[in-house]
A and B are shown apart, each in its own frame.
Chain A
Amino acid sequence: DIVMTQSPDSLAVSLGERATINCKSSQSVLYSSNNKNYLAWYQQKPGQPPKLLISWASTRESGVPDRFSGSGSGTDFTLTISSLQAEDVAVYYCQQYYTTPPMYTFGQGTKLEIK
């Protein structure tokens, strides 16, 4: 299985400041045939289901504010919130969908709070 490891486990950032969450996969999730990284980011607010923010490591979903961005390739990825808003308090998960046949795995989550 591909193990996804996020860092840090929790993070406190001041309003308006940048928040950075890292995700590392135990093997590359870059598909050489199409040069795509099979990695997604989700946001889970308290009492809610996860919400897809980013697919293909850097493609923001429709309606997701542009302060959210994803970057990275291969085994190392980053979710960045450029200017933290109060509504961004949540747990963030990365997930790989590289494995064939499917064996999807998630990171353990990073809890983001306001400092």
Chain B
Amino acid sequence: QLQLQESGPGLVKPSETLFLTCIVSGGSISSSSYYWGWIRQPPGKGLEWIGSFYYGGSTYYNPSLKSRVAISVDTSKNQVSLKLSSVTAADAALYYCARQVGWYSSSSGHAYYFDFWGQGALVTVSS
């Protein structure tokens, strides 16, 4: 049974760097069948895609966050990590890790949607 467990510091100071990890159990992040994505949700607001990682070597980021975001994986721990630098109050949110299923082909593009989500990690930004 697939489980995604996000974890992180909870509280980050403005201008500092946020680090979050997502431990995947019941599935392998090395699978060629999936992407692994990060999505955030400010309190009481909607969903914003942050970025996605494919073990085959591709990483995609939301252009609005691209200069501050990095997603990496540790296959030995079966985990996906998110780094967000220079945080501000606008980065306070519930951060979700999610598996993406679908396919890619030159004729049909990157057809991946989010089929399973973790419970999320709440991040507060305050000095």
Contact = CB atoms under 8 A, between A and B. Distances in A.
Contact of B112 (A34, A48, A97): A97
Contacts of A40: 113-114
Interface in B53-91: 60, 62-63
A102 B52 contact: yes
A68 interface: no
Given A93-B46, A102-B60, A103-B63, A51 B110 contact: no
Given A93-B46, A102-B60, A106-B48, A36 B111 contact: yes
A38 B114 contact: no
Contact of B108 (A31, A103, A105): A31
Contact of A103 (B37, B47, B62): B62
Given A33-B107, A52-B115, A101 B60 contact: yes
A49 B113 contact: no
Interface of B: 37, 46-49, 52, 60, 62-63, 96, 98, 102, 107-120
Interface of A: 1, 31, 33-34, 36, 38, 40, 42, 48-52, 55, 61, 93, 95, 97-109
